[in-house]
Amino acid sequence: MSKSFTLVVPASSANIGPGFDVLGIGLDLFLTIKASVDSQVDTSSYDSNCHLSYEGDNAQNVPLEASKNLVTNAALYVLRCNGMSLFPLGTRIHVNNPIPLGRGLGSSAAAIVGGIMLANEIGGFGFDKLRLMDYCLMIERHPDNIAAAMLGGFVGSYLNELSEEDQLYKSVPLEYILPKLSTPSDKVLSTQPPKEIGEYLKYDFNPKVKCITIIPQFELSTEKARAVLPESYTKPDIIFNLQRLAILTLALAQDPPNHNLIYNSMKDKIHQPYRASLIPGLENVLASVTPTSDPGLCGICLSGAGPTILCLATDNYETIASKVVSIFKESGVECTWKVLGLAYDGATVEQN
Ligand SMILES: Nc1ncnc2c1ncn2[C@@H]1O[C@H](COP(=O)(O)OP(=O)(O)O)[C@@H](O)[C@H]1O
Ligand SMILES: N[C@@H](CCOP(=O)(O)O)C(=O)O
């Protein structure tokens, strides 16, 4: 038996200012996974029967053992939930990843979505994208960039209130979801994830608005950037974000775009102020780049958990990016930048 296919999964920018853990945009920068299974090829000497290779960002530090790599480990989780403890003999996987790791551009979401889809194809399970989202959300437990990577475009999400029994499975620690091979198999592994963990809706997005991503040359793990957030918020701060969120989702679809409206509705009091302590220059960047000082700018925010800055703009991309780069430089932070459009289709699979 032999088959081969290619998965393509977009990067993403989550939050978009006030939509913490809610909004995400799929970006046209793609993780590609080429997979083949050929039972004539002996891969039994490789971890979990899987010959894994990787090219792209941070290649020297990405593990090539299938049970330690995020893409293949996510795939193993789905295989194990569905009665396959390892990859089939003859599995070869090549990952090409231009999405910078740990920068707030959804590299982990793309890796998880890619891994979950990889298992769906290898196992021939036939799960649709909505069911695959349940598997993804057992691993990365905020839906914003998982939804953008899987579904594409500009997406809003919420998590359903689960039944008490399902809540138990949803709160299983990640080490049981993604176990090392040596971990004895556990009841959880033979248990499917709860159904319909979240709901997702794609919004219109004016294609004249482009995404300038200014990417600092240091990594900030999402885990660390979540750890600085408070457990509770004041009523005025919550209302501040909710009011802007309601306007922003429609403002980004309007034609012509209203730059000032988008700019003001992309302000946030829930995550950015707390993360400034981890990102030198962030406060200055957010305060200094406006539609008045920088014509063409529609809005500016932290991309995901940072440190990347997302500027939405209709014009003057290079001028805007250069200004952000130079403000970061004053704080000793070097950056690169890219102008990206939306990835409307989300994750795709093509049989070769
Ligand atoms: N293609 C990939 N292959 C293996 N591991 C990956 C891949 N993409 C992301 N990761 C893992 O996810 C981590 C980054 O996740 P995270 O801290 O959530 O940042 P972000 O998702 O914003 O890039 C990386 O350090 C790496 O461990
Ligand atoms: N809502 C999350 C989004 C994290 O995105 P990432 O691209 O940084 O992984 C958060 O802000 O923590």
Sorted by sequence, the CB contacts under 8 Å of residue 166 that are 6+ apart come out as 194, 195
Over residues 218-271, the pLDDT tens digits come to 999 999 999 999 999 999 999 999 999 999 999 999 999 999 999 999 999 999
Tell me the pLDDT band of 190, cut-offs 50, 70 and 90. Answer: low
Ligand 2 first shell, C-beta below 6 A: 14-15, 20-21, 104-106, 108, 142, 144-145, 222, 225-226, 271, 304-305
Mean pLDDT across the stretch 10-34?
98
Q: What is the mean pLDDT of residues 89-99?
A: 98
What is the β-pairing status of strands 91-97 and 50-56? Answer: parallel
308 lines ligand 1 (CB under 6 A): no
Q: Model-level pTM? A: 0.95
User: For 336, what's the count of Cα atoms within 13 Å in the CB-facing half-sphere?
Assistant: 6
Name which residue leads in pLDDT, 245 or 179.
245
Ligand nearest to the CA of 272: 2
Cα gap 311→303, rounded to integer Å: 9
Q: In this structure, are 7 and 152 located in the same domain?
A: yes
**For residues 135-157, average pLDDT:** 96
Is the reported ipTM for this assembly greater than 0.90?
Answer: yes
- Check whether the bond before 230 is cis (ω within 30° of 0): no
Does 11 lie in the same domain as 146? yes
63, 84: one domain: yes
184: pLDDT strictly greater than 50: no
Mean pLDDT, rounded, for 137-146: 93
Q: Are residues 146 and 12 in the same domain?
A: yes
Whether residue 252 is found in the same domain as residue 309: yes
Q: Inform me whether the pLDDT recorded for 294 exceeds 90.
A: yes
Ligand 2, residue 140: give the atom nearest the CA. Answer: 9
Q: Would you place residue 165 in the very low, low, confident or very high pLDDT band (cuts 50, 70, 90)? A: confident
Q: In the predicted model, what is the mean pLDDT of the chain?
A: 94
Would you say the CB of residue 123 lies under 6 angstroms from ligand 1? no
Query: Are 223 and 196 part of one and the same domain?
Result: no
CATH of the domain at 265: 3.30.70.890
Measure the CA dihedral 273/278/284/289, to 10°. Answer: -80
State pLDDT tens for residues 222-231.
999 999 999 9
Q: In this structure, which residue's CA is closest to atom 10 in ligand 2?
A: 305
User: Within this chain, do residues 253 and 134 fall inside the same structural domain, yes or no?
Assistant: no
Q: Residue 44 phi/psi, 5° resolution? A: -65, -15
Number of domains composing the chain? 2
Residues 177 and 227 in one domain: no
Which ligand neighbours the alpha carbon of 141 most closely? 2
- Coil, strand or helix at 338: strand
Residue 55, Cβ neighbours under 10 Å: how many? 12
Distance (Å, rounded) from C-alpha 100 to C-alpha 291? 28
Please give the residue range of the domain that contains residue 216. 205-340
Per the CB < 8 A criterion, the answer to whether 241 and 18 are in contact is yes
* Averaged pLDDT for residues 170-181: 62
pLDDT level of residue 181 (50, 70, 90 thresholds):
very low
pLDDT > 70 in the chain, percent: 94
The number of helix segments (H) and strand segments (E) in the chain equals 12, 11
pLDDT of residue 188: 46
Question: Is residue 117 located within the same domain as residue 158?
Answer: yes
User: Which band of pLDDT confidence, cut at 50, 70 and 90, is reported for residue 187?
Assistant: very low
The ligand 2 atom at the shortest distance from the C-alpha of residue 220 is 8
- The per-residue pLDDT for 170 is 66
3-state percent breakdown (helix, strand, coil) of the chain, nearest 5:
35, 25, 40
Residues 21 and 162 in one domain: yes
Nearest-CA residue for atom 1 of ligand 2: 21
